């Protein structure tokens, strides 16, 4: 059985949402991590080379980075239909969205929060307006990033706006998409678990 190393209220929460959507037999092992406010500490039980999360171990396979983990899990559990497989229509768009999140969206959002802006950043990643344009263009073709098909790409690309609501693009198509993602039962269940974890951390 695959094992996901997870810390509540972190990037790995989106992977937990996917596991709920997949209804997959994945063991979720809670570990501690160093947090941005200085709390927490690296966990010796976490096999991630940098003691970060998420980290997925499946036999001899070990995966880091959410896009890679999500692609692996949707391939491993195809019956849920949450990611087109090799040869399926939409496979290229699916992998592109997973990579776009890791390679463009997350860097842009983090750099924005950090107040970093320069011609090099804009030449490499574009800007937040361009990111919003790309999301909006995809959503003009259907309710989800792959048109009529909900996928792990929606979970991943929607995930940062739950933590950074002030950076949510003020565009109806994007806000409606985020609301649809958040309303799914798996997302609601994971949100409730995260709220409980937050209550424990602040008690």
Same domain, 109 and 170: yes
What was the pLDDT predicted at 44?
Answer: 94
* 198 within a domain of the structure (yes/no): no
Same domain, 171 and 95: yes
* 168 within a domain of the structure (yes/no): yes
Same domain, 57 and 101: no
Same domain, 65 and 98: no
Q: Are 65 and 53 in contact (CB under 8 A)?
A: no
Same domain, 96 and 77: no
**CATH number where 115 lies:** 1.20.1050.10
Q: Are 34 and 43 in contact (CB under 8 A)?
A: no
Domain range for 180 is 91-186
Beta-bridge partners for 4: 28, 56
Domain boundary (21, 53, 82) is at 82
Q: How many independent structural domains does the chain possess?
A: 2
Strands 27-30 and 3-6: parallel
**Cα atoms in the 13 Å half-sphere on the side-chain side of 179:** 7
Task: Give, for all 203 residues of the chain, the pLDDT tens digit.
Answer: 999 999 998 999 999 999 999 999 999 999 999 887 777 789 999 999 999 999 999 999 999 999 999 999 999 999 999 999 989 999 999 999 999 999 999 999 999 999 999 999 999 999 999 999 999 999 999 999 999 999 999 999 999 999 899 999 999 999 999 999 999 999 999 999 888 877 776 66
Same domain, 103 and 170: yes
Same domain, 33 and 64: yes
* 199 within a domain of the structure (yes/no): no
Q: Are 133 and 104 in contact (CB under 8 A)?
A: no
- The token pair that represents 72 in the structure block: 């692996």
What was the pLDDT predicted at 41?
Answer: 87
Query: From start to end of the chain, where are the E strands?
Result: 3-6, 27-30, 55-58, 61-64
How far apart, in Å, are the Cα atoms of 3 and each of 63, 67, 85, 98, 99?
10, 16, 22, 21, 23
* 197 within a domain of the structure (yes/no): no
**CATH number where 14 lies:** 3.40.30.10
Same domain, 122 and 176: yes
Same domain, 96 and 169: yes
* 101 within a domain of the structure (yes/no): yes
Predicted TM-score of the model (pTM) = 0.94
């Amino acid at each position: 059985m695959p094992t996901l190393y997870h810390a509540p209220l972190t990037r790995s929460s989106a992977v937990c949402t996917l596991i709920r959507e997949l209804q997959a037999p994945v063991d979720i092992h809670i570990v501690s991590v160093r947090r941005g406010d200085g709390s927490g500490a690296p966990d010796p039980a976490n096999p991630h080379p940098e003691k970060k999360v998420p980290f997925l171990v499946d036999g001899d396979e070990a995966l880091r980075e959410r896009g890679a983990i999500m692609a692996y899990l949707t391939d491993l559990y195809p019956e849920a239909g949450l990611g087109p497989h090799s040869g399926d229509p939409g496979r290229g768009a699916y992998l592109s969205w997973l990579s776009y999140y890791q390679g463009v969206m997350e860097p842009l959002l983090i750099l924005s929060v950090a107040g970093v802006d320069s011609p090099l950043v804009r030449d490499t990643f574009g800007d937040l307006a361009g990111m919003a344009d790309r999301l909006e263009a995809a959503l003009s073709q259907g309710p989800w990033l792959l048109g009529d098909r909900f996928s792990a790409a929606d979970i991943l690309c929607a995930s940062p706006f739950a933590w950074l609501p002030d950076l949510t693009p003020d565009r109806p198509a994007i806000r409606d998409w985020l609301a649809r993602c958040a309303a799914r039962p798996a997302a609601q269940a994971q949100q409730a678990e995260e709220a409980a974890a937050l209550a424990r951390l602040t008690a």
